[in-house]
Structure 1
Amino acid sequence: MASLLDEEGAISESFEKCLRQIFAKYCNPKPESPFSGQLPPNACLDPAGLDAWACDTNGQPFSEDTKEEILQFMDVTDEGNLTFKGFLQVYQLQTENDEEETWRDLAKHGFDRSLNFVQKS
């Protein structure tokens, strides 16, 4: 099984690659190639992207309270859209508190426990 966090407790390089692919699926503007790992410099999750990610991950959009919390404590654009840095912050916190929930999220997006993409979600 791959490690989600490195020795210092930061997101591991392989986990970040997975998160980059997931983020690319929902961000605006969209990357030219979603599997390239390259995100446009101003890529973010707008409200529609945030809801789509939440639905695919949790089966429903986030509550207004959860959205407010994310937008208040995570890195967002001036318009209040979640940046990739903010997306990493969400997963950093979640993984520190409940690593198994993060593994479930990754599985829903097509990644196995070796952090390999195994299926289209």
Structure 2
Amino acid sequence: MVSLLDDDGAISESFENCLKHIFAKYCIPESMSPFSGELPLNAYLDSAGLDSWASDTNGEPFSEDTKEEILQFMDVTDEGNLTFKGFLQVYQLQTENDEEETWRDLSKHGYDRSLMFIGKD
């Protein structure tokens, strides 16, 4: 199994690449090639994108309280939309606190424990 965090406790490069792919599925502007590793300039998740990501990951959208908390404490645009930096912050905190939950999230998005994309069930 590969490590999600590097020796300094930051998100590993391979984990970040997975998160770019996941973020690209929900971001505005829409990514033309989510597997490229490149995100559209100034990409963000709006409320609908957050709901879609949460539903695909957890089976239901976030509660309003959870959304407010994410948007209050993570990096957001001036309009209050979650940036990729904020998305990384969400996963940094989650992985530090419950790495297994992060592995479950990755699995829901088609990644195995070597961070290879194997597709969704």
Mapped to 1, the partners of 2:120 and 2:95 lie a distance apart of 23
Report Cα offsets for 1:66-105 as digits up to 9, x if no partner.
0000000000001110000000000000000000000000
Q: Could you tell me which residue of structure 1 aligns to residue 23 of structure 2? A: 23
Partner Cα separation in structure 2 for residue 33 and residue 13 of structure 1: 19
Equivalent pairs counted in the alignment come to 121
CA distance, structure 1, for counterparts of residue 34 and residue 95 of structure 2 = 24
**Paired residue for 1:7?**
7
* Identical-pair percentage: 81
Partner of 1:106: 106
Give the 4+ runs in structure 1 shifted more than 2 A. none
**2:48 paired residue number:** 48
Question: What letter matches 2:63 in structure 1?
Answer: S
Residue 66 (1) aligns with residue 66 (2): yes
SS at match of 1:30: coil
TM-score scaled by length of structure 2: 0.98
**Alignment match, 1:36:** 36
* Cα drift, residue 115 of structure 1: 0.2
Structure 1 gap segments, 5+ residues each: none
Ranges in structure 2 where 5+ consecutive residues have no aligned partner: none
Question: 23-32 or 96-105, which moves further after superposition?
Answer: 23-32
Contact 2:108–2:120 under 8 Å retained in 1: no
